[in-house]
């Protein structure tokens, strides 16, 4: 049953008073008895007063109207009927006109609402397309930032190996001995390498923190876009379904008082502004992400270049130092050979001197025996003859020769001791040099055969090796 349909009922007199709207439509009759009517001039007047008549049949007195009153009453009823019918005809015409006008107005309003719904669906589709495009761009940018962050994390982890190697080289070189504990170019280069690697690690760590924050900002903007896209998809489906709804469609019904329910929270301007702000925020974060990716790319390239250059510089310093130490060791070995030959010659010379001193003993004995025997001469034979002089001179000469030979022997023995000490010094220094060569060439350069970087980290760190 329609909203405005009502069952057929027997018309009875209403027990309720007329409403103000009905009182304006229906004519007002102040007196509904036949004794009071309106005259032709519109003034209220009495039709007539009943007069008393005696009825001889019943022998009673009755109230009776006159014939004139009867005629006047009929004429007034005829006029009232004409007026009411005329009023009813006008009312029917007005009602029919109202029906046509309201029908046309209802159709026009429904068509207007349908057009507005269609336009709203187009606006929703356009804005949803913009939001979805930005959402796709943000998702792509977020994936790129994640990939760059992965590369940066891998590069940061891979810097621990060259840092460990540089520190190990410094620790190994602390095992050098003696004079080889010098602050040479290798040590300076290794210290510089450690500083550069730690500085690169600091830059990478800061960029990793920035990437973590940027990903949070990207996810927040992407979440807002996803919610906005989902809401617009829902609203587009609903408005599209409402735009296709007709009077003959199924599922329509009455919802009394729904026109008074206002659950809207935005207006067209704020609605569009909301999506525009979400898109602008996403674009802003995408621009920041692109700048961050550029910083990461630049950092990786700069760190790779610096680490590669210092790696080569340290290796070159090691090679140079190994050559210098090898040359010094070879020279020391040559000096050691000459020193050992000189020690051998000096030992032969000392042996000869000792033999020469020993050889002077018998001539000294002979000369002194002659002098001693000649002291046994008697009387005048004890003469200071030339023989005596010669024997005295001979003993003195032999004694001087022995003294001179002993001085030479002492000098040679001291020289031999110094040569032996020099030999020990040279041998110790050669051992020091060999220890330094072993540390630099085997331990340090053995760990630095290639650039210690995983090539899977990306094209930035795919460096050639020595």
Distance CA 182, CA 188 (A): 10
- What does the pLDDT look like over 207-224, one tens digit per residue? 999 999 999 999 999 999
Provide the pLDDT for residue 433. 92
> Confidence band (pLDDT; 50, 70, 90) for 388?
confident
Pairing, β 60-64 against β 51-55: antiparallel
Q: Mean pLDDT, the chain, as a whole number?
A: 84
Mean pLDDT of 123-150: 94
Radius of gyration of the chain (CA): 67
The phi-psi region of residue 48 (left if phi > 0; otherwise alpha if psi is between -120 and 50; otherwise beta) is left
- Please report, for residues 13, 92, 180, the alpha-carbon distance to residue 10 in angstroms, rounded to integers and kept in the order given: 10, 22, 130
What value does the mean pLDDT take over residues 365-374? 85
Half-sphere exposure of 364 (CA within 13 A, CB side): 14
From residue 119, give the alpha-carbon distance in Å to each of 139, 236, 237. Answer: 30, 11, 13
| More confident of the two residues 460 and 270 | 270
Contact present, 138 and 225 (Cβ < 8 Å): yes
Residue 10 has pLDDT above 90, yes or no: no
Lowest mean pLDDT among 214-228, 253-267, 340-354: 253-267
* Structure token digits, residue 146: 């994640």
Lowest mean pLDDT among 36-45, 193-202, 377-386: 36-45
- Residue 232's CB is within 10 A of a number of other CB atoms, namely 22
**HSE-CB of 446 using CA atoms within 13 angstroms:** 9
Q: How far apart are CA 17 and CA 30, in angstroms?
A: 15
Q: Look up residue 335 and give its two tokens.
A: 């000096």
Phi then psi dihedrals of residue 61, to 5 deg? -105, 125
Measured in degrees and rounded to the nearest 5, phi and psi for residue 261 equal -85, 120
Least confident segment among 25-29, 163-167, 170-174, 404-408 = 25-29
Question: What integer pLDDT is reported at residue 384 of this predicted model?
Answer: 76
Of all residues in the chain, the percent with pLDDT exceeding 90 is 58
- Residue 57 pLDDT > 90, yes or no? no
50 pLDDT above the threshold of 80:
no
How far from each other are the two terminal CA atoms of the chain, in whole angstroms?
A: 95
CA 80, 86, 89: angle at the middle one, nearest 5?
140
Predicted pLDDT of residue 379? 79
- Would you place residue 246 in the very low, low, confident or very high pLDDT band (cuts 50, 70, 90)? confident
In residues, how long is the chain? 466
CB 50 within 8 A of CB 34: no
Task: Name the pLDDT band for 128 (thresholds 50, 70, 90).
Answer: very high
pLDDT at 25: 47
pTM attached to this predicted model: 0.68
Confidence of residue 448 (pLDDT cuts 50, 70, 90): confident
Smallest CA-to-CA distance from 315 within 199, 165, 178 is with: 165
Checking if the pLDDT of 332 tops 90, the result is: yes
Give yes or no for residue 80 having a pLDDT over 60. yes
Angle value at C-alpha 291, between 287 and 292, nearest 5 degrees: 115
Q: What is the DSSP letter of 438?
A: I
């Amino acid at each position: 049953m329609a909203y405005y349909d009502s069952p057929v009922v027997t018309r009875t007199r209403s027990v309720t008073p007329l409403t103000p709207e009905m009182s304006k439509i229906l004519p007002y009759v102040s007196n509904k008895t036949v004794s009071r009517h309106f005259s032709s001039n519109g003034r209220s007047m009495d039709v007539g007063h009943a007069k008393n008549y005696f009825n001889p049949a019943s022998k009673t007195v009755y109230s009776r109207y006159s014939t004139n009153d009867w005629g006047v009453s009929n004429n007034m009823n005829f006029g009232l009927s004409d007026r009411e019918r005329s009023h009813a005809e006008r009312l029917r015409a007005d009602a029919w006109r109202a029906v046509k006008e309201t029908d046309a107005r209802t159709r026009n309003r429904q068509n207007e609402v349908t057009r507005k719904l269609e336009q709203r669906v187009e606006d929703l589709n356009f804005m949803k397309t913009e939001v979805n495009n930005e959402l796709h761009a943000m998702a792509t940018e977020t994936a790129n930032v994640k990939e760059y962050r992965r590369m940066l994390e891998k590069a940061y982890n891979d810097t621990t190996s060259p840092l460990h190697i540089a520190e190990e080289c410094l620790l190994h070189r602390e095992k050098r001995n003696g004079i080889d504990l010098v602050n040479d170019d290798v040590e300076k280069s290794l210290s510089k390498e450690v500083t550069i690697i730690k500085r690169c690690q600091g830059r990478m760590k800061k960029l990793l923190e920035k990437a973590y924050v940027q990903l949070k900002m990207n996810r927040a903007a992407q979440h807002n876009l996803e919610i906005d896209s989902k809401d617009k998809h829902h609203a587009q489906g609903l408005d599209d379904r409402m735009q296709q709804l007709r009077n003959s469609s199924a599922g329509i019904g009455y919802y009394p008082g729904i026109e008074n329910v206002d659950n809207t929270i935005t207006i067209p301007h704020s609605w569009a502004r909301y999506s525009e702000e979400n898109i602008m925020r996403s674009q802003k974060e995408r621009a920041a992400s692109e700048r961050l990716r550029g910083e990461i790319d630049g950092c990786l390239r700069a760190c790779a270049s610096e680490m590669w250059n210092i790696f080569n510089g340290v290796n070159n310093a090691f090679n140079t130092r190994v050559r210098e130490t090898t040359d010094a060791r070879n020279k020391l070995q040559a000096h050691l050979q000459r020193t050992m030959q000189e020690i051998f010659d000096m030992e032969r010379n000392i042996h000869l001197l000792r033999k020469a001193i020993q050889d002077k003993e018998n001539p000294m004995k002979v000369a002194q025996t002659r002098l001693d025997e000649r002291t046994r001469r008697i009387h005048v034979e004890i003469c200071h003859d030339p023989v005596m002089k010669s024997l005295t001179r001979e003993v003195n000469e032999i004694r001087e020769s022995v003294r001179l030979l002993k001085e030479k022997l002492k000098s040679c023995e001291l020289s031999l001791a110094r040569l032996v000490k020099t030999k020990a010094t040279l041998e110790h220094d050669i051992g020091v040099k060999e220890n330094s060569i072993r540390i630099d060439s085997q331990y340090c350069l053995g760990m630095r055969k290639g650039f210690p970087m995983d090539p899977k980290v990306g094209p930035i760190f795919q460096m050639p090796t020595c």
